Structures are given as structure tokens and as C-alpha cells.
Structure 1
Amino acid sequence: MMVRTLSALECTRLLTANRVGRLACAKNGRPYIVPLYYAHADNHLYVFSMPGKKIEWMRGNPLVSVQVDERGQGRGWRSVVVDGRYEELPDRVGHKRERDHAWSVLSKHADWWEPGALKPVTPPVSDSAPHVFFRILIDQVSGREASE
């Protein structure tokens, strides 16, 4: 088995080609990891979610990591880890452009809203909407690949 480091371009390609990762966040020194459906664009991972533990924890500590992987042939694999910062995109004045951009990036993919458990109305307009759009600003990315 050979393991090599992926270039920044290879890491970006893997993030763009995939939709599911694992989000790691922390609160009071405790880690929390959860699956995450995302879309990658312009040095961000865009996400739609319902309020809950991960949103609460990221609001308190915006530093997060996301891991995305692919299986290769045989025992091969590729994995990328993103270190970044949670940025909520609230449905308020001053955030419309970023929120609309998140909507457009996510909606290019079929059933992007299903992991959030509720399909929002196109486009979301209510201040009391229970769903949350957010993005993770990619500060650092690294990856590895194993092959036989």
C-alpha cells in the first residue's frame, strides 16, 4: 500500500465531486461529529440544515473541520480534511446575496434539501423559517490517497 499527499487542486476536485462529508465541531471541550450534505464553490462548503445540536454548537464555536472521502480500487481510498469557520447565512437584510448564492449552489444538485428534513419554499423569505443556510469558509485543506 502506498500513501501520498494530495495537491491543493486534487483536494478541491475531490470536494467538488462529492456531496457528503462528516462535520466535526466542539463545545466545552467535547467533540461532535455528524454527516453533512454540502456543495462546494468559491472556497466555501454550502449547507442547508434544520436547527439542532450542530447549529447550536457552531454558533458558540465557529471553528470546524469537515472530512470527505472516496473509496478507490481494491483497498484504495482518498480523503480530504477541511479546517474552516462556520458562517450562518440568516434570512435578514444584509445577507440576501450570500443566502441566494447558497441556494443557487445547493439547488444545482438533486434532493439537496432532504438531509435538512424540510424542503423550503422557493426562495425562502420568512424571518421565522426554521431552516438554516450556512457556509464553511475553507481556511486550510489537506488530503491523502492510498493505492495498492
Structure 2
Amino acid sequence: MFVRQMSREECEGVVAAGDLARLACCRDGQPYIVPITYANSGRRLYCFSLPGQKIDWMRSNPKVSLQIDQIANNRQWRSVVVTGRYRELPAAQGRHHERIHAWSLLEKKPNWWEPGGLKPVPQEISGASAHIFFCVEMDEMTGRAAFAG
């Protein structure tokens, strides 16, 4: 097996073709990583979540990373790491248009709401929706590809 660096264009292709990433954030020196569905639009990755640990952590430290993979088998894969900044899209602060844009992109993905919307314990039923739309503004992108030799 050989591993090589991917070009910027190849990295962008992996990000554009994908919809599931591993989102990493950090607070007080402790890393945390979770799967999340995303939709790509230019230099932004749009995401959805309910309130919880990742949102709390990203609010306190907006620097995040995402890993996006395309895996054919254990000897043939491509992996991209994106670094960027968390930015919430609250409806009340003039982000309505971008929030609707995020929703319109995400709803094209199958089961787009599940990673961010399902919790392992029963949730209270509320009259108000607590859902949070956010984006990761991409700063850097690097990738590696493996192939059989």
C-alpha cells in the first residue's frame, strides 16, 4: 500500500461528495469527537444539532476540525481533514436567510437530522424547537489517499 498527499482539488472533491464527517472540538484541553451530517457550500459546511455537549464546547471554543473519508477498502481510501471555525446561525440575529439556505442543502441528504437530532436518552417534549443550525467556516484542508501498489 502507498499513501500520498492529495491536491487541494482532490480534497475539495471528497468534501463535496460526502455528507458524514467526524466533528472534533475541544474545551479545557479535553478533545471530543462525534459524527455529524454536513452540506457543503463554498467555504462553509452547514450542520444541524440539538443543544448538548458539542454545541456547548464549540460556543466556548469555536476552533474545530472535521474528518471526511471515502473508503473503498482498508488499502484504498481517501481522507480529508478540515480545520475551521464554528459559527451558529440563530434565527433571531439576522441569519434567517443563511439558516434557510443551510436547511435547504441539508434536507437533500438522507436522514440528515439523525446524527444531530437523536439522543441516547428520552428527551422532553417541548412546544418550541431547540434545533440549532451552524456552519464551519473552513480555514484549511489537507488530505491523504492510499492505494494498492
What is the TM-score with the length of structure 1 in the denominator? 0.88
Show the counterpart of 1:145: 145
Contact between 1:80 and 1:141, CA under 8 Å: does it hold in 2? yes
Show the counterpart of 2:77: 77
What is the TM-score with the length of structure 2 in the denominator? 0.88
CA RMSD of aligned residues (A): 1.4
Show the counterpart of 1:123: none
SS of 2:100 mapped into structure 1: helix
One-letter identity of the residue aligned with 2:101 = H
CA distance in 2: counterparts of 1:73 and 1:86, whole angstroms? 32
1:102: Cα distance to partner? 0.6
In structure 2, the gaps of 5 or more residues are: 119-127
Deviation string for 1:70-123 (max 9, x for gaps)?
1135611110000000000012141111111111111122321222337xxxxx
CA distance in 2: counterparts of 1:103 and 1:73, whole angstroms? 32
SS of 1:111 mapped into structure 2: coil
Percent of paired sites with the same residue: 51
One-letter identity of the residue aligned with 1:144 = R
In structure 1, the gaps of 5 or more residues are: 119-127
- In the TM superposition, structure 1's runs of 4+ consecutive aligned residues that sit over 3 Å from their partners are none
**Structure 1 residue 129 corresponds to structure 2 residue 136:** no
